Each structure stands twice: as structure tokens, then as C-alpha cells.
Amino acid sequence: MWVDSSDRASAWGMELVAVADGGPATAAEATPTPTPTGVVRVEKVRGRSAVTRCFAKYPLKIIVPSKVGPASSGAVWLYVLTYGGGIVSGDKISCAVTVGDGCTAAMTTQASTKVYKAVGSKCSEQVLE
């Protein structure tokens, strides 16, 4: 997963639009963007890729182990988990990941993500930017 660090607004799920009258250009732009349940930023620290920001709230959990693979790879590893063993009815997961110039990150899960049957009209959603 590669994300250009210069596009901070996009990494947060925001779209910046300049409109003459100051209002939104379309109805879609007037819809507020949901707050991310996870945010990760990878930047160069002392010449190596490092996680400089890691935030997650229920139902998302992000694990950043310190020892994964050979040190020569220089990659930061991110494991994304959900409570309940998968995506359950009503879960809303939104994760924004920013990987800086010259940085390397590997984002994975411990196993395949299970999506469980919805209860009633409770839909689930997962977005990764």
C-alpha cells in the first residue's frame, strides 16, 4: 500500500474544493466525512521508515511489531485486526494510511477478514485510504 505523504487532505478522507460562493460544489461534497477509526503515518526517522502516528478505536486495532523480518528490508509492518473476529453487523471501519517519500510499509491482517451476516438493517462498511 503506497500513499503520497504530500496529499494530507486525501489521507484524512477530506476533499478540498475551491468554490466562488464558498459553498459546496455538489451535494456529495456537502456530506460530512466520517471520522476515521484508524490513522497511521510512516515517515523517515534517522534514515529509516518508522511509524510516527498510530491511532485506532473500536472496532479496529492496529499492531506495529518491533521485530518482523530481516532488518535490512527497512519496512514497517502493520497488522490490522478487528474485535469480534471479523466485520460484524453495524461495524463502520475507516482507516487512513500515509506513507512518506522513500518509506516502505507492509499492511496486512493475521488471517482473511471474515464478514458476518447483517442483523436486520445494520449494514457494515470498511474503507481504506
Q: pLDDT truncated to tens, each residue of the chain (129 aa)?
A: 333 333 333 333 333 333 334 444 444 444 455 678 999 999 999 989 999 999 999 999 999 998 777 667 788 999 999 887 788 888 999 999 999 999 999 999 888 888 888 888 888 888 988
Position 79 scores a pLDDT of: 93
Position 32 scores a pLDDT of: 52
C-alpha cell belonging to residue 24: 459546496
Position 34 scores a pLDDT of: 63
Q: What is the chain's alpha carbon radius of gyration, rounded to the nearest angstrom?
A: 17
11 Cβ neighbours under 8 A, 6+ residues apart: 3, 5, 96, 97, 98, 129
C-alpha cell belonging to residue 6: 504530500
Asked if residues 90 and 83 have their Cβ atoms less than 8 Å apart, the reply is no
Cα gap 109→118, rounded to integer Å: 22
